[in-house]
Every structure is written in structure tokens, then in C-alpha cells.
Structure 1
Amino acid sequence: MGSRKTGAPAPREDQMRHIRTFATATTLAVLPLAAFAAPVDLRLITMEPGGSWYSYGSTFSEIIQGSEGENELNVEVLPRGGGMTNPVAVSQGAADLGFVSASAAVWARDGIGEEFEGREANNARAIVGGLQLAYTTIAARRDYVKKSGLTTFDEMVASDNPPRFVLKPAGSQVPILANYMFEALGSSLEDMRGRGAITQISTAQIAQMLRDGTADVYIENAPVGQATMSEVTLTTPMVFVPASDTVLDHMSELGAPAANMPEGSYPGQEGVYRTSMTPTILIANADMDEEVAYQLTRALVEQREKIAEAFPALAGWDPEKGAQPDQAVIELHPGAARYYRERGWIE
């Protein structure tokens, strides 16, 4: 009988070794990409519990964490911040992602207004735009318009006897937007206040003031269906007052592009209402890895239906429109832009 060389594997052992090697290679080949993904920790800043952005944060983080790609994305939701805080937090790296009003993102980027003077905030880029459109509305009591004969915002500001404007107190972006609107016509919030034309008060009291006739014009910035504007238009006959292109062009330069509020949004609205809007956008720090930004952008866009189902207020979000300059408003992150180019939505 022949003998095999010392140290050489037995035929069966050699065969089993090849089988094990093949099995291991096959297993590795069919493992999901996530099994090899590099972990990346992200912080998403929203707002305090109870706010809409806080609610959005849980669903958005779930979608991002479940995304497929080169990275295993982990998201920590930061339940603090707000419209004027988040652009700075993301730009300075205190958070990686954040919900912001597009107008505030522009003010922060350009250092506009005392809120952002001396605060570096130009290192943020848009991931998705146009999540929710907040329209700036100028609603006047119908009786006031009939008695005064003032039918436009420009006429009201220029009048020797201006209306009594009512709006939210400091802390909201409404007074800032109103100030820019007045500035476009050579006035300011403080100038109008000095003329006795400004009352800033909590939203809980605004509807009552208009019903009582102690206020004439209500300036707001909110999505269609906002509770206070809905109450006002249901309990007091109102008309929506137009502003000139001078005002709208100035607002566009400040991150609040012109838009048409759909016909029938509120009682008293006749036709579409041409005004300015401030989209809610999701921003990222500009230094975020391009592949990470691409992966989370793709996940959010492709889960649009899940987002709409969870939040009816976001049901109107159109990702293709949101990628355009009038809804993204600030520069897109390169990773997001790459995804949108692949979809053929931007050049």
C-alpha cells in the first residue's frame, strides 16, 4: 500500500477545509451591507418637547438609523433649541443636523439682525427643503378696511393714521419678519410702535382683540391651518391684505421667498394669496462626510410616505421642489446635491 507524505493533509481533511472556506466566503457575500458599515454618531437638534420639530425628530431619526449604505448611522435627538438657536448650533458643530426656518438660516449665515450679530453661523448646508411652508399673512378686519379705505399693506404703513397691528411677542420670528416688511417701506417695527400702531401679545389673546375691535390687522407667519389664524378667521370677518413687490422682493433677499398661499386656505381669502413664506428645512454641518449626507438624504426622500403618514402637516412635502433654491434657500450639502442630481431634480 502507498503511503502519503508526512505533514500533508488527509484527502478528507483537505476537502473539509475547502468546504469551510467556501461556506465562510458565501456567508460574507450574502451579509447585508450594514454588517460592514462604519458607525457614525449624529446629533439632531429639534426643540423642547411639545413642539412640532421635537415630534418630527423621533421619526426622522428612526428613518436615518434604518438607512442602508456605507455607514451605520446612529442618531441622538437633542430636545432643545428652536428657530433662532438651531442654525448656530449646527453651524458651530454643537449638533450635526437640525430643523430650522429657512429665513433664520439665512439671517444666521449672513449675520443679519441683532440675534446673529457676531455669531458665526455660515457653516450649515441644506439636506432637505420645503418640509413645511409657513406663510406670512397680513389679515385685517373687514370692517376696518371698509371704514379706512386702506386695502394694501403699503397704504396702511404710509397712512397718517395707521391701523393697530397685533403680532406675537419677542422670541418668535414674526416680529423680525414684520420689521423687515416695514423696513422695505422706509419704516421699522420701532417706528410703528412709536406711532402707537404695534401691540405684541400672546397668541391666546389675539383672536379676542380682533373680535373686540381693539386691534385691526394681524401679522402672522405659520403653516396653513395654524390654530390662532383659524380661530381669527372663523370668529371675525377678515380680509387678506396684499403687500407690494417692493416688500416681497425685500423679503426674498432675506430668506423668505415669494409664494402663493393656496386658495381657500382660510375663510375670507379670495383666490390665491401672494405673500412670502419661510420653509422649514433640515440642515447639516457643512463638514459632514459627503457619503453620510447622501445616505441620510436618500433615506428621508425614499421614506416620504412614512413621514406624511406620521405627520399630516408634512403631507405636502415634495422632495423635488424642496431641492430647489426657493425651498432649500441655502446651499445644498454636496451629499444631498449628489442624490438630487441622480434623481434628475437639479443640474
Structure 2
Amino acid sequence: MKPCETVTKASAGVARLGGSLLLALALLQPAQAGETQIVIGTASSTGVYHITGQAFCRLIEGPCHARPSEGSVANLRDLRHGEVPIALAQSDQQYHAVEGRENFADTGPDDSLRALFSVHSEPFTLVVRREAGIQGFDDLKQRAVNIGNPGSGQRATMLQLMSARGWSLDDFALVNELPADQQSLELCHGNIDAMVYTVGHPDLTIRQAVDLCNAAVVGVEGDFVEALVDDAPYYSLAEIPAGLYYPEQPEVKTFGVRATVVASEATDPDQVYTLVAAVFDNFERFTAFHPAYSVLEPERMIKEGLSAPLHEGALRYYRERGWIEDEANGEENDAADEAETNAETD
């Protein structure tokens, strides 16, 4: 290599390093005076939760950061401990946090948890190597499976499904606990036969597995699935549209949850109001960020999948829009209706 080439490459490397340092420093800079940065806990940097957090930040006129995390369970714990003000979480994990069950049994009910709105549906998705011959959930027995990293919603949902089927981790030949952004490559390398993911569709991780190693999406059906859905208010039957990932892909029947946006009761109401207003005042722009948002309807988003009470900042916006009746007015109307009924009876 010629000396001038060496100098040129070294200079380019320094320039790239300098650019990276400048970017890092910019991210570390405090918000302008009087402005507090809105931080939103998401999940894997390749998943729809992170895309959703980034979409929120693009709509907000002010400092905002979508922070990757271990997932729903970790986000809900961080909210409770005051480590993040706003986060995304699966509707089932929101329910468990409110009730103090499953992953939150040790800490008890979180009375400080508040809901903002729900977003897209998240079908539980089973992706397999075609040569493994897996046609359904029951075929996973004695196979190598990635169930998701501790703290992730996909792992929590998988464990509930296994419990409904009467299985334990011992029923698999190998259990991997990789995060979502690593599991498709593990599948393509043949180190696992299947991976599970609770996610909005289409998803880049699943697309990667299909494109790189001809993976297939398989349905999750059976009496145990229907029983699980019937017993849990946060689950519902779901479908993944035919042809979404490859031409011959049939419609895939499964079940799922909803992605929800949550905060702590202690989170600044003005921050919550800012986020909620940014989404619903720019709703068409928001739904254009990802295909999973295309079927969203505001009237359903402020009700479905929400176990925690609505946050004060969200309530303020919904009342201004007339989407939720003021409690005081509601009580007056109820009293008026009761008086009218009594008068008719008399």
C-alpha cells in the first residue's frame, strides 16, 4: 500500500471516529433551557417498538429520545423505579404489572402505573427452518428453540403459552435466550430450529430470516390456545395476512396482544400531553410510519388493551377532543338520568 493511501485511509478513519464522537456528544447534550427531554423506553433496536418510539419523537416538537431496552417487562420495572418516564409494553404485561402477577408477583401490584393509549396488534409469531419439518406448536417438543431474552414480552408470552400446553423448558432439546435482533441469524446458522416473536407485522427480523435462509411462518393453534385466550382479557385470536413475507405464505392463525404506551403516575402530565397530542394531532402522518399502524383508529386506541388507569396528561387531551366525558359531567348526567327515571316511575 502506498504511503499516501495509508494517510488517506487513516484520515478517513479519524473523520469517521470524529463524526461518531460528535454524534455521541450531541446525544449527551442537555435539552435547551426550559425543555426537558422526553425519554421513551422501547425494546430491541430492530423491532417495531423502537420504530414506534422513533415515530413518536419525530412528531414531537422538542427534545425526545427513543431508548432501546430489554423489552416490556424491563420497561414496566424501569417505570416503577423511576428510571424512565414513558415506555411501550405488551398489553398482557401491563395487566400483570397492574395486578402484581407473573413477572411482577414479587413486587406486587403497581398502583402508580398509568396508560396513555394502545398501538398496533402483536400476533405471537412462530418462525421455523423449513428443513426442520415443524408444522405447528406441538412440533417444537424436543427441538432447539429461542424463547427470548429475560425481560422481554415475547419470552413472557411464550412461558404462558407453554404453561397452557402443560410444558416446561425441559420439553425442548435446547433453549436459547437471545434478544430479538439476534435470533434470525441463529436460526439461519442452524443453531436453533425455531424462534418466537410477539411483534407487529411486517417485521424486519422475520423478513431477515425469510430472505437469508428461507424460513417459514407457522400457525399457533389448538384447544390450549383458545383456552388461554378465553381466560385472559389481554389476549385475542389473530391472523398474519397471506403473502406478507413470501408469495406462498398462507394466512397464519395465531393469537396475540396489543402494544401499549404507559407511564408512571409521577410522570410530568405536560410531557404525557405533549406525546399524546403529537400522535393524535398528526394521526395520518403517524400511521404512515409503519404498515402495522395502517388499521389504527383513535377511538379504539384509547380503550383497547389498557388495564391501568389513564394518565392525567392523556385524560386532559382526550377530554379536550371530546373523546372522553369529564367525570364530573358524567356523574351529573347519571344523576339527571336517575332523577328522570324516578319521575317517570312516580
Instruction: Give the TM-score band, short-chain normalised.
Output: 0.5 to 0.7
Q: How many positions carry a matched residue from both structures? A: 283
Which among 127, 136, 141 is matched to residue 139 of structure 1?
Answer: 127
Deviations 1:257-306 (A, max 9, x none): 432222322225312x2323343322122356778755653442111233
C-alpha displacement of 1:183: 0.1
Larger radius of gyration: 1
Q: State the TM-score, normalizing by the size of structure 1.
A: 0.63
After TM superposition, the structure 1 = structure 2 runs for residues 279-298 of structure 1, keeping only pairs within 5 Å, are 279-286=258-265, 293=272, 296-298=275-277
Aligned identity (percent) is 19
Q: Do the aligned partners of 1:166 and 1:200 also contact (CA within 8 Å) in 2?
A: yes
Paired position in structure 2 for 1:60: 56
Q: Which moved more, 1:293-302 or 1:261-270?
A: 293-302
Paired position in structure 2 for 1:241: 219
C-alpha displacement of 1:113: 3.4
Q: Do the aligned partners of 1:97 and 1:283 also contact (CA within 8 Å) in 2?
A: yes
Distance in 1 separating the partners of 2:267 and 2:286: 23
- Residue type matched to 2:123 in 1? Y
Q: Quick check: 1:180 aligned with 2:165?
A: no
- Unpaired segments of 5 or more residues in structure 2? 1-33, 326-346
Paired position in structure 2 for 1:220: 197
Would the alpha carbon gap of residues 58 and 237 (structure 1) be closer, same or farther in structure 2, given more than 3 Å must change? Answer: closer
Which among 115, 139, 147 is matched to residue 156 of structure 1?
Answer: 139
C-alpha displacement of 1:203: 1.5
Distance in 1 separating the partners of 2:65 and 2:160: 33
Q: Do the aligned partners of 1:82 and 1:100 also contact (CA within 8 Å) in 2?
A: no
C-alpha displacement of 1:229: 1.8
Paired position in structure 2 for 1:276: 255
Distance in 1 separating the partners of 2:98 and 2:167: 25
- Unpaired segments of 5 or more residues in structure 1? 1-38, 67-73
Would the alpha carbon gap of residues 89 and 164 (structure 1) be closer, same or farther in structure 2, given more than 3 Å must change? Answer: closer
Q: Give the secondary structure class of the aligned counterpart of 2:159.
A: helix
Distance in 2 separating the partners of 1:180 and 1:48: 20
Would the alpha carbon gap of residues 96 and 185 (structure 1) be closer, same or farther in structure 2, given more than 3 Å must change? Answer: same
Q: Do the aligned partners of 1:167 and 1:200 also contact (CA within 8 Å) in 2?
A: yes
Paired position in structure 2 for 1:35: none
- Residue type matched to 2:163 in 1? E
Would the alpha carbon gap of residues 303 and 151 (structure 1) be closer, same or farther in structure 2, given more than 3 Å must change? Answer: same
Distance in 2 separating the partners of 1:224 and 1:48: 16
Distance in 2 separating the partners of 1:139 and 1:80: 23
Q: Do the aligned partners of 2:74 and 2:151 also contact (CA within 8 Å) in 1?
A: no
Q: Do the aligned partners of 2:89 and 2:153 also contact (CA within 8 Å) in 1?
A: no
Q: Give the secondary structure class of the aligned counterpart of 2:102.
A: coil
Paired position in structure 2 for 1:259: 238
Would the alpha carbon gap of residues 249 and 299 (structure 1) be closer, same or farther in structure 2, given more than 3 Å must change? Answer: farther
Q: Do the aligned partners of 1:43 and 1:95 also contact (CA within 8 Å) in 2?
A: no
Paired position in structure 2 for 1:122: 111
Which among 68, 76, 87 is matched to residue 98 of structure 1?
Answer: 87
Q: Give the secondary structure class of the aligned counterpart of 1:246.
A: helix
- Residue type matched to 2:56 in 1? F
Paired position in structure 2 for 1:45: 40
Paired position in structure 1 for 2:344: none
Paired position in structure 1 for 2:342: none
Give the CA RMSD over aligned residues.
4.0
C-alpha displacement of 1:58: 5.9
Q: State the TM-score, normalizing by the size of structure 2.
A: 0.63
Deviations 1:50-73 (A, max 9, x none): 566566556535645x5xxxxxxx
Paired position in structure 2 for 1:332: 310
Would the alpha carbon gap of residues 40 and 126 (structure 1) be closer, same or farther in structure 2, given more than 3 Å must change? Answer: farther
- Residue type matched to 1:135 in 2? P
Deviations 1:117-153 (A, max 9, x none): 22663322221211x43321123455554xxxx7542
Distance in 2 separating the partners of 1:281 and 1:111: 18
- Residue type matched to 2:125 in 1? T
